[in-house]
Amino acid sequence: MEIPYTVEPRPDSGLANGKLGIWLFLASEVMLFGALFSTYILLRVGAAEWPHGELSIKLGAINTVILICSSVTMVMSWASLKLNNFSKGRLYLLITIVLAAVFLVNKYFEYADHFARGEGPWHNTFLAIYFTLTGLHGLHIIGGIVVMAYLLGPGAGLWKRNPEQYTNRIEYTGLYWHFVDLVWIFLFPVLYLL
Amino acid sequence: MHSDQEAIKKSIRSYMVVGALLLVFTGVTVAANSFHLAVPAAITLALIIASIKGTMVASVFMHLSHEKKWIYGSLLLTVVFFIVLLFLPLLTVAGGIGKPTGAPVVAHESGAAH
């Protein structure tokens, strides 16, 4: 039995099920990160002093540029598929995965530097919330890479059977990926600059 | 279908422009940090720039500028709960949570015996 409304929109909502589903998921993600941002504000307001200059602005800025570029390549992957250009769509998806991996490598160097100096999450309140926020964000990056790798590899066969459904899956993955980028857009100034 | 493809080709240009603007705003954020503004001014400026960048990502990359009302509705509900979530810590600071109704809130902590 075929699952209904994977491509054609539902008559009541005007949306395919997957699209409404990913937006509801993103709404729950807003609450998850919102709770942590709220915690950050509470900790910072209550702290007698707050450390400055503990993080490398250069690495943080480079990671911001990487994620912005990956958002562009992700949306370009979807646009290429909409234009029936499968090979270009896959290429953009591959570039997105590579950029995501580079982001994680940068993050590894940042974390390694902190741990080499004995500055783990236990060191102070700032580093506790820093590792919590960036660690959770990093897990989201890994999750995105897993989904994109599936769509690039074994999941790509769907393009031959149902190109519109495959394009929709890329769109939903893109919505998730842009959200991960959006979270970092706020994390960078909050943690690295202020 | 043809007009749909024309629309996609047009939006590709806007994706590139927004991508470039996001990079420019990132540069502005880093540059503003080097001015060593007072903390309230620095926080305000950084959050304004981040909000502009976030709006661009949401409206252009995530196509929120032209979505269906069901998505706007679910996001509106999220915004309401998000605001409540942000203000929840204020209630705990005020001491209103976890105390029995009508009980004195901070009487034993204020050094009433002095």
Euclidean distance between CA atoms A141 and A135, whole angstroms: 10
Chain B residues within 8 A of A37 when measuring between CB atoms: 86
Among B34, B75, B82, which would you mutate to test the A interface (most chain A Cβ atoms within 10 Å of its Cβ)? B82
Stronger pLDDT, B98 or A91, i.e. the higher one: A91
Cα Rg of chain A (Å, integer): 19
Indicate if the pLDDT at residue A96 is higher than 80.
yes
Element at B31 (helix H, strand E): helix B2-33
Q: Which residue has the tokens 């490398």?
A: A56
ipTM over 0.85: yes
Average pLDDT over residues B27-40: 86
Compare all CA atoms of chain A with the CA of B14 and give the residue at the minimum distance. A72
Residue B22 and residue A179: Cβ atoms within 8 Å?
no
Token pair, residue A65, equals 């540029």
Chain B residues within 8 A of A69 when measuring between CB atoms: 19
Whole-number average pLDDT of chain A: 94
Q: Are A185 and B54 in contact (CB under 8 A)?
A: yes
**Is residue A148 assigned to a domain?**
yes
Q: Quick check: A51 contacting B, CB < 8 Å?
A: no
Q: Which residue has the tokens 């603007």?
A: B21
Report domain extents, chain B. 1-61, 67-92
* A168 contacts: CB under 8 Å, gap ≥ 6: A6, A7, A16, A18, A19
CATH number (domain holding residue A97): 1.20.120.80
Domain ranges, residue A69: 56-193
Token pair, residue B71, equals 């998505």
**Is residue A146 assigned to a domain?**
yes
Average pLDDT over residues B31-40: 83
Give chain A's domain count.
1
Q: What angle do CA A61, A62, A67 make, to 5 degrees?
A: 95
Lowest mean pLDDT among A49-58, A130-139, A151-160: A49-58
Token pair, residue A159, equals 């393009």
HSE-CB of B91 using CA atoms within 13 angstroms: 10
Chain A residues within 8 A of B53 when measuring between CB atoms: 185
**Is residue A154 assigned to a domain?**
yes
HSE-CB of A37 using CA atoms within 13 angstroms: 21
3-state SS class at A91: helix
Euclidean distance between CA atoms B88 and B97, whole angstroms: 9
Torsion sign (Cα): A168, A155, A71, A188: positive
User: CA dihedral in degrees (A97, B4, B56, A156; nearest 10)?
Assistant: -10
pLDDT 10s digits, A135-192: 999 999 999 999 999 999 999 999 999 999 999 999 999 999 999 999 999 999 999 9
Stronger pLDDT, B113 or B45, i.e. the higher one: B45
Euclidean distance between CA atoms A170 and A52, whole angstroms: 40
* B15 contacts: CB under 8 Å, gap ≥ 6: A72, A75, A76, A79, B60, B61
Q: Are A64 and B19 in contact (CB under 8 A)?
A: no
Q: What pLDDT is attached to residue B103? A: 54
Beta strands in A59-129 (DSSP E): none
